[in-house]
Amino acid sequence: MSFRASILTLYPEMFPGNLGMSLSGKALERGDWSLEAKSIRDYATDKHRSVDDTPSGGGAGMVLRADILAKAIDYVTEEDDPRPRLLMSPRGKPFTQNRARQLAEGPGAIIICGRFEGVDERVIEARQLEEVSIGDYILSGGEMAATIVLDAVVRLLPGVMGNQESGETESFENGLLEHPHYTRPAIFEDRGIPEVLTSGNHRLINEWRLEQSKKLTEQRRPDLWAAHLARNAK
């Protein structure tokens, strides 16, 4: 069974967007995964197709209504649907490579793209939505976040990447940032390629790459480096 993604959004025309190109686009054409984008407005009950209302207790902005969003979720959710329901939200748990791999090993996902000030808390509770964040910043809506999540997941599906080893050595797969890369020309603006990479000695090359990964992680991501040290101290 291929990976099935259902997107609930106010702007279904934004999909597949970038997901229809490159590796994910080719995989979509092959049927390695499928994508449906549904408009939340299709489940509105008034002639204006309203999906939001003013926040209870006052305040700026508008809030997506629980009843309308619940109808949309129920429509795309099949009986005994095992797919997780992800709500793109800046207050969610940070999205990680490990979570991407977990999703890639599953049947798919239902992804809700928020807009306005947020989503009525009651539908988050009633439909057991998993809030997911792609970073500590605010976007206009969840569509771009959903695209990022799906791109990270789809590339991990079997057969999508031509060289599986490429995915296994990338940043975050082993808790470290990826080592530097080099290719031709041999000299670029007086800068050469490290000699070890042209030595043909694969043991030394692997050792060099690991040391570079450790150095970069310690310099740029002290949080990851601390976690790496803690894991290896056990």
Strand 3-9 to strand 108-113: parallel, antiparallel, or no bridges (unpaired)? parallel
What pLDDT sits at residue 134? 97
In a 10 Å sphere around its CB, with 0-12 CB exposed, 13-18 middle and 19+ buried, how is residue 37 labelled? buried
Q: Where are the alpha helices (DSSP H) in the chain?
A: 22-30, 66-76, 97-104, 121-126, 143-154, 164-168, 202-220, 222-233
What pLDDT sits at residue 155? 97
CA 100 to chain CA centroid, nearest Å = 6
What pLDDT sits at residue 44? 96
What pLDDT sits at residue 170? 61
What pLDDT sits at residue 162? 74
pLDDT tens readout for residues 146-165: 999 999 999 999 999 975 54
What pLDDT sits at residue 165? 47
Q: Would you write out the chain's pLDDT as a tens digit for each of its 234 residues?
A: 689 999 999 999 999 999 999 999 999 999 999 999 999 999 999 999 999 999 999 999 999 999 999 999 999 999 999 999 999 999 999 999 999 999 999 999 999 999 888 999 999 999 999 999 999 999 999 999 999 999 999 999 999 997 554 556 566 778 899 999 999 999 999 999 999 999 999 999 999 999 999 999 999 999 999 999 999 987
* Long-range pairs of 100-107 with CB within 8 A, sequence gap ≥ 24: 100/149, 100/152, 100/153, 100/156, 101/156, 103/149, 103/153, 104/3, 104/153, 104/154, 104/156, 104/157, 106/3, 106/82, 107/1, 107/3, 107/4, 107/82, 107/83
Between helix 202-220 and helix 222-233 the angle, nearest 10°, is: 120
The answer to whether the peptide bond before residue 185 is cis (omega within 30 degrees of 0) is yes
25 close to 65: Cβ distance less than 8 angstroms: no
pLDDT tens readout for residues 189-206: 999 999 999 999 999 999
